[in-house]
A and B are shown apart, each in its own frame.
Chain A
Amino acid sequence: TLFTAIPLDFDISSPLTYGTPSSRVEGTPRSGVRGTPVRQRPDLGSARKARQVDLHSDGPAEDLVTAEQSLGQRLVIWGTDVNVASCKEKFQRFLQRFIDPVAKEDEDVGLDLNQPRYMQRLEEINIVGEPFLNVNCDHLRAFDENLYRQLICYPQEVIPTFDMATNEIFFDRYPDSILEHQIQVRPYNALKTRNMRSLNPEDIDQLITISGMVIRSSQLIPEMQEAFFKCQVCAFTTRVEIDRGRIAEPSVCKNCNTTHSMALIHNRSMFSDKQMIKLQESPEDMPAGQTPHTVALFAHNDLVDKVQPGDRVNVTGIYRAVPVRVNPRVSVVKSVYKTHIDVIHYRKTDSKRLHGVDEETEQKIFTEERVELLKELSTKADIYERLSSALAPSIYEHEDIKKGILLQLFGGSRKDFTHTGRGNFRAEINILLCGDPGTSKSQLLQYVHNLVPRGQYTSGKGSSAVGLTAYVMKDPETRQLVLQTGALVLSDNGICCIDEFDKMNESTRSVLHEVMEQQTLSIAKAGIICQLNARTSILAAANPIESQWNPKKTTIENIQLPHTLLSRFDLIFLMLDPRDEAYDRRLARHLVSLYYQSEEKLEEEYMDMAVLRDYIAFARSYIHPRLSEEASQALIEAYVDMRKIGSGRGMVSAYPRQLESLIRLAEAHAKVRFSEKVETTDVEEAKRLHREALKQSATDPRTGIVDISILTTGMSATARKRKEELAQALRKLIQTKGKTPALKYQQLFEDLRAQSDTAVTKDMFDEALRALADDDFLTVTGKTVRLL
């Protein structure tokens, strides 16, 4: 009788189960290694299974092993071109010699880059005791192209060889080391496949790496590896290994020769852990209008429960296809195969972001021609103008705003000052657009949101702090608490577009304070406390409180947002209806053209969007400009100039925050040119744009002077001065009244109004009283004013 352990899993008669039938691979050396047992690798499918491939169907057995006498004992594994001995030797050489000259991986911390890196890894294994060696396939490829190819094509045969090679070296070096089991090699980063969509029948049984998002994971499934039988007559015991998911139950007891006396003892059998995981294509990889593909993964042993639903991972494993039988007893076969991936290695792509490692892990792969094209574009003198005009072509003019957004898309360079105690400097540029309703602000936001891969779009009106940040949800089925991340966290390393910023409630806005300067997000909810990274640029749009923008009021008065928040924006633009004839004419022509242009012309522009997207992605991942000496000087000068303007009028006209903004903008502009160095031209443009934005948003409508304090303190310098004067006048007034301990509020107000030559409103009076109260000169209780 056969016990069916996993009925759907394997089919004995399929070549696909063992696409590369093998093998001459012996187990890893057991002898001479004290105390370290071998452990089966269910992720590879065991070698035993492979041995039993029906050899007779394909002719005489001699064909199976090609013996090349001329080269001595050169055996290759059947169906492959892998020679175990040379493969082993090559891999050992790789371990002993491979030095990565340009390593910048985050996991290299503590490695001496000038020493063979994998030897250092083995040393680590000796110390830590974790018997897994992760090998970057890219390294292997750089070292030996052929060996890499063999690994990709015949992982089931090559990886055990690697295991063998590794263990030999390891136990040679550290003979006294005792590990939980022998070292297993886990290759990752096979460049074979990146996208689930490109998987095809040719990938079956090959080593692949795909990226995606975990959507479901099953509970732990115990899979029997070795069955334990006991004779019910004489208590003789025996072990039977599982072969292709089935157990061959001994029908006769070897000891007492009783038939059918052997019974399976479950709790003495050996089981390994297994888990089924569903991986879904990442949203970025999906073509528009199609649903995402999914693929099943099987994780084994310690890889079980390594990932949770919602994680983005890169999975390296072997792609399998298994035929589906209609009925196990009938030979009718459904003509469809079931596919899955046996996981060898996981690499979470977003967990790193939580740890604040700077490298962007999901670098987009560009073809050489594409890089060529982008680089050629970058040499164009007018690339900055070109790109900014390619941005949202349906929105008319507003060139400076588009330029600002363009720089925002590129972002500055990230700087780490943790060692000096200042933490990270933000590299993201935040932009606020204010203006009349119906000036295509939302459209601009929508465009940006669609352009960048990690763009999020929310509206201030509907969103609560919860929707922006993260919230804890109880899964109705599992009763498990799940942390759901909101728009801000999701747009980490991207742009969060917030429409109707002014409609946002107070508590939601307060979240933004932390995000916009510290670039982190703290969550304390339902007992879960954590700090998530939210290194997102904010592109917000706000409408004036009144239905129309009031040119007689300052920006703050118009949109009624706290200055603490406003000062965190690098650039604040006004999008106003210009009301000028030439503009109207151009606008009309532009709009009319929208209404009859042919599909093809529009198509052309769509191409531009793809180029623009790639251009930005390329610059963001590969260009990290640093300030040149001249640029630093220019920045200093610019800052000093900005301070000087104000000091003439007795006010502060620039703060360090403005200097930081300038630096970011200059860096972004250098990125636009694909330049590793920030030059003076970049600083010039940064200065110009910054000034332009200030001119729009920080001009004091009463005096016509650009006044930064409108944005930084919420009040123009003249207004503040007037306030102070009024307070002084009030103080004088009270002092002339002599030594009266208390005054009537209304009386005092009227006296002050009578005395002053300008109109004094009640608000102004209250403000003056408050100022004096702050000076401990008086207190106001109800309708009486008491002197102190």
Chain B
Amino acid sequence: MPCVADWLNNPFSIVQGIFAQNSPNSDWEKKVTDYFKEKLKENNATNWVPSLNDVPVHYLKPNSLVKFRCMVQDMFDPEFYMGVYETVDPNTNARVLHFGKYRDVAECGPQQEIDMNSSQTVTSERQTLYCVPVPAGCAVVLNPQFYAYISASQARVSPSTSYTPSRHKRSYEEDEDMEQHPSKQKEQHTGEKGPACLVKVYESWDTFKVNDVLEVYGILSVDPVLSIVSNEERDSSTLEPVEYMDIAEEQRVHSPPSSLVPRIHVILAHKLQHINPLLPACLNEEESKTFVSNFMSELSPVRAELLGFLTHALLGDSLAAEYLILHLISTVYARRDVLPLGKFTVNLSGCPKNSVFTEHIYRIIQQLVPASYRLQMTIENMNHSRFIPHKDYTANRLVSGILQLASNTSLVIDETQLEQGQLDTKGVHNVKALGNLITWQKVDYDFSYHQMEFPCNINVLITSEGRSLLPSDCQVQLQPQLIPPNMEEYMNSLLTAVLPSVLNKFRIYLSLLRLLDYSISDEVTKAVEEDFVEMRKNDPESITADDLHRTLLVARFLSLSAGQTTLSRERWLRAKQLEALRKARLQQQKCVNGNEL
């Protein structure tokens, strides 16, 4: 029985053992995955596996077992490799079988040669995924404030083995430090998020999709030979005809130096429901059920506190705060043919122009959700940024764009920055892409000769002065109750006032409620029906099918935000009431602005 250190530090010895016992039979592959699956099930075993997200690559032992939480940014073509090969010693003629799985280079001893003609050779297939740490598509940065806590919490559980860098402890202290002084956070804490990786998948790779968030357990490969490969190839390419140059470019991009982009040979991989480490990874398990029910029992004070917090942040506007909560727990839970259900894009209009207000709203959202991105909608940005990912055929890579985001990322679009000006073709395309994203929750990636549709699930919040030029599901006119003389100071003190433990509750609250199921009873359906018919009878202009759509959405999130998974009559009425309040404000605004739409 190998000890813990063995399967962690030297997983190849395990694989070799299983391979030697079972070959040439091919079930050794299944036995290997089963073995590791069992090992990882043991109590807290997953915590013992060092994570590439937290530990810099050079501190990790090559060929050891690592885990990595990442988003699939691109997929390469499947590659054929030597699954099983045979080496021969030219002196003794001794033949040995080897496995090529989980390896980049076919190993063979100094006195051996690989017999390429051997009848024992098995060619197999694997797929390479280009993965980046969540949610760092290209420009998207991890929410340092959010993850500050997380890496700290993981440092506590991670074993003090030799490869845990001492530096990690320091960062843990820094984190605690920062937790108390949020104003300091911005300048620090970048780069602690792990490298991009080439993740080699051996099984059922067709279930993985671009932008999926994965947690993979696999063997780290940073063989320096891989870098030599690229050097060699580059050297030889200079001797080759010019025509091969572009192939060389592709090779260069596809096999970057392993010190910068390590390879992970996946033994186990699974898609993540969410990326909030404060929550158990899988909510269906028994132990996580108690976690959920414990949290649910104290839900209403958390909600009240969160509402209060957001009300302060939104300058005393409790209605806007209410809608912001609904927005933050919204998620596309299903698609009905082309219609994404459950998206709830909020347009927060009436934001003061040229003030730091919108920036601070974003900072607060950053504190609350695991992944977010702030898009400043300036003419400059619209005309020059790359929103839509596109395929670079020279390098054969999908080049990421701003809109390549992991599911449930909060995208905050700041329209108050927009001045009058001319949009060029790119700008128009970008605006169109934003509109598509909001309306259909999909992004059309540019493949030059055609476009490919990638469904997404992104929470879009638009802050604007008047009504946004982008479509939205619901416009909320902000009505500040107080104007702080110094916005900066006001917001900062607001954040410092919140205890980290409370902040964590908010974080759990927002991530957890998104994952709950929801239903409507026949009885309530009937009531809603009656209501609708009644309202239409009185004034058909007052409520359209669209309004009903929206009210049902509001009712859904309102129920969920209170931890209720079915719609009650009271919630329905409350939803209607909220909608009425919101509409009244818009009406009021219309009167103030005269003929504004």
> Can you list, as one digit per residue, whether each of B101-128 has a CB less than 8 Å from chain A (1) or not (0)?
0011110100001111111010111000
Q: Which residues of B contact A366 (CB under 8 A)?
A: none
A218 to B241, CA, bound (A): 11
A438 to B541, CA, bound (A): 13
Contacting residues of chain B (524-555) with chain A, CB-CB under 8 angstroms: 525, 528-529, 531-533, 536-537, 540, 544-546, 548-549, 552-553, 555
- Report if A332-B106 is in contact (Cβ < 8 Å); known contacts: A290-B210, A438-B544, A594-B336: yes
Flag whether A38 is at the interface (Cβ < 8 A): no
Q: Are B117 and A58 in contact (CB under 8 A)?
A: yes
- Report if A288-B117 is in contact (Cβ < 8 Å); known contacts: A334-B106, A592-B529, A594-B336: no
Flag whether B30 is at the interface (Cβ < 8 A): no
Q: Are A588 and B533 in contact (CB under 8 A)?
A: yes
A589 to B123, CA, bound (A): 56
> Can you list, as one digit per residue, whether each of A554-591 has a CB less than 8 Å from chain B (1) or not (0)?
00000000000000000000000101010011011101
> Can you list, as one digit per residue, whether each of B548-568 has a CB less than 8 Å from chain A (1) or not (0)?
110011011000000000010
- Report if A323-B339 is in contact (Cβ < 8 Å); known contacts: A288-B455, A291-B398, A595-B520: no
Q: Are A276 and B100 in contact (CB under 8 A)?
A: no
Flag whether A367 is at the interface (Cβ < 8 A): no
Flag whether B74 is at the interface (Cβ < 8 A): yes
Flag whether B139 is at the interface (Cβ < 8 A): no
Q: Give A107 Cβ to nearest chain B Cβ, in Å.
A: 26
The residue in chain B whose Cβ has the minimal distance to the Cβ of A199 is: B78
Flag whether A15 is at the interface (Cβ < 8 A): yes
Q: Are B545 and A591 in contact (CB under 8 A)?
A: yes
A57 to B119, CA, bound (A): 10
> Can you list, as one digit per residue, whether each of A413-449 has a CB less than 8 Å from chain B (1) or not (0)?
0000000000000000000000000111011001100
Selected from B85, B124, B335, the residue in CB contact (under 8 A) with A602 is B335
Stretch of A6-14, A83-91, A153-161, A638-646 contacting B (4+ beta carbons < 8 Å)? A6-14
Q: Are A450 and B428 in contact (CB under 8 A)?
A: no
Q: Which residues of A contact B540 (CB under 8 A)?
A: 577, 579
Contacting residues of chain A (268-290) with chain B, CB-CB under 8 angstroms: 276, 278, 280, 283, 286-290
A577 to B548, CA, bound (A): 14
- Report if A287-B116 is in contact (Cβ < 8 Å); known contacts: A218-B246, A438-B544: no
Q: Are A591 and B549 in contact (CB under 8 A)?
A: yes
- Report if A337-B103 is in contact (Cβ < 8 Å); known contacts: A216-B393, A221-B243, A289-B455: no
Q: Which residues of A contact B454 (CB under 8 A)?
A: 288-289
Selected from A13, A218, A289, A333, the residue in CB contact (under 8 A) with B106 is A333
Flag whether B232 is at the interface (Cβ < 8 A): yes
Q: Are A334 and B393 in contact (CB under 8 A)?
A: no
Contacting residues of chain A (47-103) with chain B, CB-CB under 8 angstroms: 53-54, 57-58
Q: Which residues of A contact B292 (CB under 8 A)?
A: none
- Report if A201-B396 is in contact (Cβ < 8 Å); known contacts: A13-B116, A219-B243, A310-B449: no
Flag whether A761 is at the interface (Cβ < 8 A): no
Flag whether A321 is at the interface (Cβ < 8 A): yes
Q: Which residues of A contact B391 (CB under 8 A)?
A: 291
Selected from A15, A215, A221, A324, the residue in CB contact (under 8 A) with B448 is A215
Selected from A14, A295, A396, A490, the residue in CB contact (under 8 A) with B77 is A295
Flag whether B38 is at the interface (Cβ < 8 A): no
Q: Are A335 and B100 in contact (CB under 8 A)?
A: yes
Q: Give B533 Cβ to nearest chain A Cβ, in Å.
A: 5
Q: Are A588 and B455 in contact (CB under 8 A)?
A: no
Flag whether B187 is at the interface (Cβ < 8 A): no
Q: Give A52 Cβ to nearest chain B Cβ, in Å.
A: 12
Q: Are B240 and A7 in contact (CB under 8 A)?
A: yes
- Report if A215-B105 is in contact (Cβ < 8 Å); known contacts: A15-B121, A335-B100, A599-B334: no
Flag whether B596 is at the interface (Cβ < 8 A): no
A294 to B212, CA, bound (A): 21
Q: Which residues of B contact A218 (CB under 8 A)?
A: 243, 246-247
Chain B binding surface SS class: mixed
Flag whether B206 is at the interface (Cβ < 8 A): yes
Q: Give A465 Cβ to nearest chain B Cβ, in Å.
A: 15
Flag whether B39 is at the interface (Cβ < 8 A): no
The residue in chain B whose Cβ has the minimal distance to the Cβ of A579 is: B540
A221 to B232, CA, bound (A): 22
Q: Give A524 Cβ to nearest chain B Cβ, in Å.
A: 22
Q: Are A595 and B556 in contact (CB under 8 A)?
A: yes
A585 to B455, CA, bound (A): 32
A287 to B206, CA, bound (A): 9
Q: Are A334 and B537 in contact (CB under 8 A)?
A: no
Q: Are A438 and B75 in contact (CB under 8 A)?
A: no
Q: Which residues of A contact B518 (CB under 8 A)?
A: 595-596
- Report if A447-B337 is in contact (Cβ < 8 Å); known contacts: A216-B393, A321-B80, A334-B229: yes
Q: Which residues of B contact A286 (CB under 8 A)?
A: 452
Flag whether A511 is at the interface (Cβ < 8 A): no
> Can you list, as one digit per residue, whether each of B566-587 has a CB less than 8 Å from chain A (1) or not (0)?
0100000000000000000000
Q: Give B202 Cβ to nearest chain A Cβ, in Å.
A: 13
> Can you list, as one digit per residue, whether each of B363-402 has a CB less than 8 Å from chain A (1) or not (0)?
0000000000000000000000000000101101010000
Q: Give A458 Cβ to nearest chain B Cβ, in Å.
A: 10
Q: Are A332 and B396 in contact (CB under 8 A)?
A: no
Q: Are A331 and B243 in contact (CB under 8 A)?
A: no
Q: Which residues of B contact A53 (CB under 8 A)?
A: 117
A222 to B548, CA, bound (A): 68
Contacting residues of chain A (288-340) with chain B, CB-CB under 8 angstroms: 288-295, 309-310, 321, 323-324, 326-327, 331-337, 339
Flag whether A231 is at the interface (Cβ < 8 A): no
- Report if A291-B247 is in contact (Cβ < 8 Å); known contacts: A331-B114, A584-B533, A588-B532: no
Q: Give B12 Cβ to nearest chain A Cβ, in Å.
A: 14
Q: Which residues of B contact A589 (CB under 8 A)?
A: 525, 529
Q: Are B100 and A332 in contact (CB under 8 A)?
A: no
Contacting residues of chain B (216-252) with chain A, CB-CB under 8 angstroms: 225, 228-229, 232, 236, 240-244, 246-247
- Report if A14-B116 is in contact (Cβ < 8 Å); known contacts: A335-B103, A337-B80, A595-B520: yes
Q: Are B452 and A336 in contact (CB under 8 A)?
A: no
Contacting residues of chain A (613-649) with chain B, CB-CB under 8 angstroms: none
Q: Are A588 and B210 in contact (CB under 8 A)?
A: no
Q: Give A16 Cβ to nearest chain B Cβ, in Å.
A: 7
Contacting residues of chain A (1-33) with chain B, CB-CB under 8 angstroms: 7-8, 11, 13-16
Q: Which residues of B contact A609 (CB under 8 A)?
A: 337
Flag whether A393 is at the interface (Cβ < 8 A): yes
Q: Give B226 Cβ to nearest chain A Cβ, in Å.
A: 8
Q: Are A394 and B336 in contact (CB under 8 A)?
A: yes
Flag whether A359 is at the interface (Cβ < 8 A): no
A591 to B448, CA, bound (A): 38
The residue in chain B whose Cβ has the minimal distance to the Cβ of A21 is: B117
Q: Which residues of B contact A221 (CB under 8 A)?
A: 241, 243-244
Q: Are B105 and A335 in contact (CB under 8 A)?
A: yes
- 4 further A-B contacts with Cβ under 8 Å, apart from A213-B449, A335-B105, A443-B339, are A290-B75, A326-B105, A438-B546, A587-B548
Residues on B lying within 8 angstroms of A by beta carbon are 74-75, 77-82, 85, 100, 103-106, 108, 113-119, 121, 123-125, 206, 208-212, 225, 228-229, 232, 236, 240-244, 246-247, 333-339, 341, 391, 393-394, 396, 398, 428, 432, 439-440, 447-450, 452-455, 518-520, 525, 528-529, 531-533, 536-537, 540, 544-546, 548-549, 552-553, 555-556, 567
6 chain-A/chain-B pairs, Cβ below 8 angstroms: A218-B246, A291-B398, A310-B449, A446-B440, A450-B337, A450-B453
Q: What 5 pairs across the A-B complex have the smallest Cβ distances? A: A289-B209, A588-B532, A201-B123, A394-B336, A335-B100
